Structure 1
């Protein structure tokens, strides 16, 4: 880590102060300590550190009150804050997030874990600063663009556009286009194929935001805490970070719209999963058909080759026997007996070869039918892909001219 990172440790336990300071100093970080909340706030205002490690339980004002005051001061409102506590329940994490914390570490913790969290928050802070100005400009542009457009119209527009989305990135971007027009900041979690896919309307997600969404009860449709609301569906969860508490009518309208939006997201995720499964199944069927067709072709070819070879052997055998019998000087009845046995064997062999020809013809018919099935299947898949691409293009072309009521 860079030696320019300054960390303020606010903790009433001197031993903990020294232990953390020694750990951070060994990694090139500079530290400053405070024994209580009031002195910590004063130091933070004066020196404005890059990150604050804040104990929850302290004499005087506790860590939650300290964090709340830091977020209300212009000098410290954007400094990342990591709570240090011996308790780590969901309720306590929610309380920390409610007052503005960026992360929450449960004591005791490993030094490597602390350093990793600091590293993540430094990157998160840098991304947030870099994106803040662009986000504000984009938000202002979006607000101007939707002047006179109702929230319901935006939701219906998203439902129509969602039909053309072909991956999770497009789903998230389309949803955020709608929520940004509502002036909302959101984090989206998509769960699919045993994998978690994270998206943010602001470009970055804090570790605590991820923990809150993952630890939330998925059986509850809505989970409200302060100005934050989590909306849960089987394959998607949305954290709205700035619900309009000052306008309860608009708050109620938005809560009516979110199930519609998330239902469309959830349905599209299932559709994409089904399409992927069908496409994979089609590839496997085509591969199996091709292998069967190849095997049947080689089998039929082998039958024909063996038939020709057997026919030649019989012809050679008849020729050799006839020649040998002339030299043996057999009695007439002996010769007739041997010729009868030879004729019977040759007749039976020819019958067997004729049956082989029938089998070969059957194999040829099966092979031809499989070739037709493969061709038809490939045509269907190509037609499906073309229709999807055409639908997506049409949706994109109609996007700018859609009427919103």
Structure 2
């Protein structure tokens, strides 16, 4: 494969003539003519044949070296006489190679071709380096986005209400430079927010009306993202940057997943707090009823005992004055003794009932303590004591 080159010389040497023929090179007589030729075709090299000129390399080729540097072309000299200082100066100025006229003609063409290959390889390497740099930059941006998302998903569990949850989301969205409106829907109510904490009526209505539409709704530079209980209106999507556009959609999707999960958690937490309050009230009512039942039970037991003792004393005082046979008196005494024995047995069973009441009271106390020590409710403010709403059974 032959590449197009430019050849500059007032008088071509034999090697220069061979190079011109081999590459079908365009030849100009002076460096002044090169500037207008460079942009006319895809030239891959600039060869300067100065073997017939009696001057230093830098004197005859300085303008050619500057032109080659400007257009990123390898510059090759064909020179007969030059010193080491000339060679070093030409190399520092950007010369790729210096070919002596005595060099084999095919070798000269091969060396020029090699210079072209080196420049092509350097260009390809530069492109790959740029691509690698861009890939690394994108990877760093992606890692940064991932880190911010992870930090949000870790911090979101510290939000105790919808206001804190919304502010946490807006704080993360700031790094993307987005202006947004947020709507969160839960059993606790519907919360509409802007970054400053207040809501806008039009955006709130729009988010609610489109909450059951597609996952993404695009119109102009605005996008609505819906995920279960959460809707986010992004007002300044980068529509001219497809890569950033897609990255924002992907990242906001994960953020909304985290917000939605926390909304469910807050609902469960609220339900648990309500159940705790109900259980506490129920426990208090049951405890009050138990105390009253216990007191009334003891009153009944004491009343029975008093009545038995009174009845026994009355019988014992009255029986001797009755015209009863000894057999009748023995029968009445056995009945009285049986009544006393049966009453004592009932009292002994009453002691077991007291033990049951005590166990029930301890069980209620342990249940309330377990609720107070629950990790989701630890540190939560206890509800104020309810007004006198206990059940009055007696």
Matched, 1:166 2:160: yes
Distance 1:217 1:277 in 2: 25
Match of 1:360 in 2: 354
Alignment of structure 1 residues 263-302 onto 2, 5 Å: 263-302=257-296
Match of 1:334 in 2: 328
Match of 2:149 among 152, 155, 162: 155
| Preserved contact between residue 222 and residue 231 of structure 1 (Cα < 8 Å) | yes
Match of 2:222 in 1: 228
Distance 2:231 2:154 in 1: 21
Alignment of structure 1 residues 388-403 onto 2, 5 Å: none
| Preserved contact between residue 224 and residue 230 of structure 1 (Cα < 8 Å) | yes
Match of 2:364 in 1: 370
Structure-2 change in CA distance of 1:217 and 1:366 (3 Å) = closer
Note the C-alpha offset of 1:204: 5.5
Query: Structure 2, unaligned stretches of length 5 or more?
Result: 1-140, 382-394
Match of 2:301 in 1: 307
Match of 1:262 in 2: 256
Structure-2 change in CA distance of 1:245 and 1:345 (3 Å) = same
User: Secondary structure of 1:352's match?
Assistant: helix
The Cα offsets for residues 147-193 of structure 1, whole Å up to 9 and x where unpaired, read as 99943333232222212111111111111112222111100011111
Matched, 1:320 2:318: no
Structure possessing the higher radius of gyration over alpha carbons = 2
User: Secondary structure of 1:163's match?
Assistant: helix
| Preserved contact between residue 180 and residue 195 of structure 2 (Cα < 8 Å) | yes
Matched, 1:247 2:259: no
Note the C-alpha offset of 1:276: 1.1
Structure-2 change in CA distance of 1:369 and 1:148 (3 Å) = closer
Match of 2:79 in 1: none
Distance 1:206 1:373 in 2: 45
Query: Structure 1, unaligned stretches of length 5 or more?
Result: 1-146, 390-405
| Preserved contact between residue 188 and residue 267 of structure 2 (Cα < 8 Å) | no
- TM-score normalized with structure 1 length: 0.54
Matched, 1:192 2:186: yes
Distance 1:204 1:366 in 2: 50
Distance 2:365 2:288 in 1: 10
Alignment of structure 1 residues 58-69 onto 2, 5 Å: none
User: Secondary structure of 1:306's match?
Assistant: helix
Aligned residues: 241
Q: CA RMSD in A?
A: 2.6
- Flag as ranges the 4+ runs of structure 1 deviating above 6 A: none
User: Secondary structure of 1:201's match?
Assistant: coil
Distance 2:380 2:325 in 1: 85
Structure-2 change in CA distance of 1:357 and 1:337 (3 Å) = same
Matched, 1:209 2:203: yes
Note the C-alpha offset of 1:320: 1.1
Higher mean C-alpha displacement, 285-294 vs 149-158? 149-158
Distance 1:198 1:185 in 2: 14
